[in-house]
Structure 1
Amino acid sequence: MTSTGLIRDFTDEEARRALVLKWGTQDPDVLPAWVAEMDYALAPPVAEALQRAAAQGITGYPAHSSGGPLGAALAGFAARHFDWPVDPEQVLATVDVTAGVRIALEALSDHGPMVLPTPAYHPQFGIAGLSGRETWELPLDPDAGQATLDLDRLDDLFSRGARTLLLTQPHNPLGHVYTRAELEAIRDVVVRHGARVISDEVHAPLVLPGASHVPYLALEGTADHAVTVTAASKAFNTPGLRCAQLVTADPAARDRLLAEPMCRNNSWSPLGEVAAVAAYTEGDEWLASLVERLDRQRGLLTSQLRQQLPLARMRPLEATYLAWLDLRGYGHDDPATLALDKGRLHVEAGDRYQPGLTGHVRVNIATSPERLVEIVRRLAVTVDA
């Protein structure tokens, strides 16, 4: 396996041991490129912090409060990377991003439908229902070059009674980074209807060269209607440590979140807090190396698709390590199943992210260059047979 700067690739054996879901559940002949985990060793500052915490026995209940070392660490990271002034006391821990979205929806939003732009991260489809709300989809054009929201349709959904927009930015699975102008236009529609935004920004540290992340709460006129949910988990490969963050800019919203019953939000991990603090305070150099690696992987994927799958169309990959491929040119409704059955390649089917959408797959490129070449080869020999 190769390396880029501080990034070390797992061997297959290491990956099967460390990535229990992504690799450990697969048959030995299957190459996994599906769930959003990276085939890279843990950032040394995070690994060292966890080792120290385990040696000190930090395995008890976490404190149910805002601010603290976690709030200070996230505020420093936001200032350095996004020029976003975050009040550390407005940062609260939660178990993961999906749980954080649900808590924000139940504690802060008026009762009414939640708008979900699709394709969408598939666990998001069930969040509103758990809160007794409907999910109203806002489909994005699969043939459009970018993942820009249809503001007229958004306006119509709010006019018909929707009360919350779940905005995933950077977008998963389309890899789009919303511009300031796009976000301001969305804000204006939301404000006109007195609605609310929950902004899932877990992929924000993974914006690739050529784009810049603008936090929704960094926009003027958003403090009174928005909450951000984020985590170090995607950028630093620590989802199993279970610690995301809710960020508000309104003390009243923060207090409402803190007042939620412990049974709704008491399950994050103190080791997750340790890892997040280390990532946010000591992980910049490793993260820069990661973004460099992912940028190279993006270029390699583009060239391999051109050579091996010339009819494939890829959304501009501006962020994340998750490529969204349109394979309809090859005439298969379900290329993901075909790839698994015939090519022993596990990618995710597009209809998981937008029910009824055929011919699309999501491919995880956070692996070694050698594996990425093999991923495209296996995909090509199955869909272009």
Structure 2
Amino acid sequence: MSSHPFDDITADQLRAAGSMKWSAYPDTIGAWVAEMDFGTSPEVTTALHDAVDRALFGYLPQSLVTQMSESYARFAAERYSWGVDPARVRPVTDVLTALELVITHYSRPGSPIILPTPAYMPFLTVPGLLGREIIQVPMAVTRPAGSSDGPRYTYDLDAIDAAFRAGGHLLVLCNPHNPIGRVLLPAEMQAIAEVVDRHGGRVFSDEIHAPLVYEGHRHVPYASLSETAASHTITATSASKAWNLPGMKCAQLVLSNDADAKVWTSIGRPAEMQTATLGLVASSAAYAESGAWLDDTLGYLRGNYRVLTDLLAAELPQVEVAPLEGTYLAWLDFRALDLGGLPPAAFLRTRAGVTLTDGALCGMAGEGFARLNLATPRPILTEALTRIAASLA
């Protein structure tokens, strides 16, 4: 008998369901795009069935916006000790839409975007579509003496300072970090805030993975650090990663100061009205009723990470993984291996039949790396890792 119901989900079932993760490369194991293979919580499913039965398919009603905003505010207070005014929690379709709005309306016109790398792949393309240059700031990598935990990534304060001096105005901060799995400490973020404040800069804080933090770590919203941080930050988050709802097209943009809220009253309504009605229903149920499902899923994901680290230690010691503090995305360093000139993701898709995300898509700092999605049933993960080990033997 399976030790967890997630173990019973098969690759054939996932392919038949037809998600992009499993249909884009149908002859491989899908371990690339950041969605989970576990469905969503029973509470979310029930709420969606009820909404469908009531034919809740019309334009966005204000009552659902209020319900979602209040649900998120309670969740933030309980999980992060962050007191958020529900009226400052606004619906948008997704985090990328939030980024577009922040670049367009809250950053200095024409200024470059400061992006620590490796970074979430679209963050390297969206600014260019808006006519903005990107200043890539590779993250600093340290290896604590006597530690076998793997490389530790931190924000390079001197490089960020230099990027502001070079004309950058908006810093994209990601916490928990995709793709490296870091959960930033308050002291780290406070140091970043001091650099931003010194230059009169702004911060777009991507906290979409905030609910996915493991034991021993704690998510602290960047805007909650101080009045200074709140004054220069707009936060974007969503239930889409933690409850597997990316297709529901609903995220939350959190305004943490009066000036930004005033701007939003004049530019925000068109963006809000594009949010999916059913997405608001799902998000409210996730934040208000689905904590137990989230906690159980976190325990399962943590077990999957142990499967990965055990296999690497036993069979692939040349491949390093950044310690996973949050998210379900493992950042793997293949640079010690000779892959015949191929990027790791291309090599593994061809030789192992496992599709990962090419690290180079995450910026120049990601060349020679690949991102592995751990949010899959453990038997499938085990097969994928076995294939990878065999292909690299």
TM-score range, shorter chain: over 0.9
Paired residue for 1:322, among 326, 329, 337?
Answer: 329
State the partner residue of 2:361: 352
Contact 2:329–2:374, Cα closer than 8 Å, also in 1 = yes
Contact 2:153–2:180, Cα closer than 8 Å, also in 1 = yes
Note if 1:372 corresponds to 2:370.
no
1:290-305 residue pairs with structure 2 within 5 A? 290-305=297-312
Residue by residue over 1:229-261, the C-alpha shift from the partner in whole angstroms, topping out at 9 and shown as x without a partner, is 000000000000000010012133123123216
Paired residue for 2:169, among 163, 170, 179?
Answer: 163
Distance 1:136 1:55 in 2: 49
State the partner residue of 2:113: 114
1:275-294 residue pairs with structure 2 within 5 A? 275-294=282-301
Offset of 1:130 from its aligned partner? 2.8
State the partner residue of 2:123: 124
State the partner residue of 2:372: 363
Offset of 1:213 from its aligned partner? 0.8
Distance 2:330 2:224 in 1: 27
Q: Which runs of 5+ in 1 are unaligned?
A: none
Note if 1:23 corresponds to 2:22.
yes
Note if 1:94 corresponds to 2:92.
yes
State the partner residue of 2:10: 11
Code of the aligned partner of 2:262: D
Distance 1:174 1:365 in 2: 13
Contact 1:113–1:133, Cα closer than 8 Å, also in 2 = yes
Code of the aligned partner of 2:174: T
Distance 1:249 1:141 in 2: 29
Distance 2:189 2:365 in 1: 28
State the partner residue of 1:248: 255
Q: In 2 relative to 1, CA 17–64 (structure 1 residues): closer, same or farther, beyond 3 Å?
A: farther
Q: State which drifts further: 101-110 or 112-121.
A: 101-110
Residue by residue over 1:126-146, the C-alpha shift from the partner in whole angstroms, topping out at 9 and shown as x without a partner, is 222233221111012467522
Contact 2:331–2:370, Cα closer than 8 Å, also in 1 = yes
Offset of 1:153 from its aligned partner? 1.0
Offset of 1:335 from its aligned partner? 1.8
Q: TM-score, normalised by structure 2?
A: 0.92
Offset of 1:19 from its aligned partner? 4.8
Residue 361 of structure 1 aligns to a residue in which SS?
Answer: strand
Offset of 1:63 from its aligned partner? 4.3
Offset of 1:9 from its aligned partner? 5.1
1:124-143 residue pairs with structure 2 within 5 A? 124-141=123-140
State the partner residue of 1:62: 60
Q: In 2 relative to 1, CA 356–202 (structure 1 residues): closer, same or farther, beyond 3 Å?
A: closer
Residue 279 of structure 2 aligns to a residue in which SS?
Answer: helix
Code of the aligned partner of 1:43: S
Distance 1:367 1:66 in 2: 32
Code of the aligned partner of 1:25: A
Q: State which drifts further: 148-157 or 328-337.
A: 328-337
Q: TM-score, normalised by structure 1?
A: 0.94
Aligned-pair Cα RMSD in Å = 1.9
**Percent same amino acid among aligned pairs?**
38
Code of the aligned partner of 2:282: A
Distance 1:95 1:381 in 2: 41
Distance 1:222 1:41 in 2: 36
Offset of 1:62 from its aligned partner? 1.3
Residue by residue over 1:305-350, the C-alpha shift from the partner in whole angstroms, topping out at 9 and shown as x without a partner, is 1122121100011111110000112122412111111211111111
Contact 2:6–2:377, Cα closer than 8 Å, also in 1 = no
Q: Which runs of 5+ in 2 are unaligned?
A: 144-150
Q: In 2 relative to 1, CA 356–228 (structure 1 residues): closer, same or farther, beyond 3 Å?
A: closer
State the partner residue of 1:235: 242
Offset of 1:223 from its aligned partner? 1.9
Residue 293 of structure 1 aligns to a residue in which SS?
Answer: helix
Residue 209 of structure 1 aligns to a residue in which SS?
Answer: coil
Code of the aligned partner of 2:84: V
Contact 2:90–2:272, Cα closer than 8 Å, also in 1 = no
Q: In 2 relative to 1, CA 2–281 (structure 1 residues): closer, same or farther, beyond 3 Å?
A: same
Q: In 2 relative to 1, CA 71–261 (structure 1 residues): closer, same or farther, beyond 3 Å?
A: closer
Contact 2:92–2:271, Cα closer than 8 Å, also in 1 = no
Distance 1:287 1:85 in 2: 21
Paired residue for 2:46, among 41, 45, 48?
Answer: 48
Code of the aligned partner of 1:200: D
1:122-271 residue pairs with structure 2 within 5 A? 122-141=121-140, 145-220=151-226, 221-260=228-267, 262-271=269-278
Offset of 1:168 from its aligned partner? 0.7
Residue by residue over 1:176-226, the C-alpha shift from the partner in whole angstroms, topping out at 9 and shown as x without a partner, is 110000000000000111100010000010011121111001111222110
Distance 1:298 1:15 in 2: 21
Residue 227 of structure 1 aligns to a residue in which SS?
Answer: strand
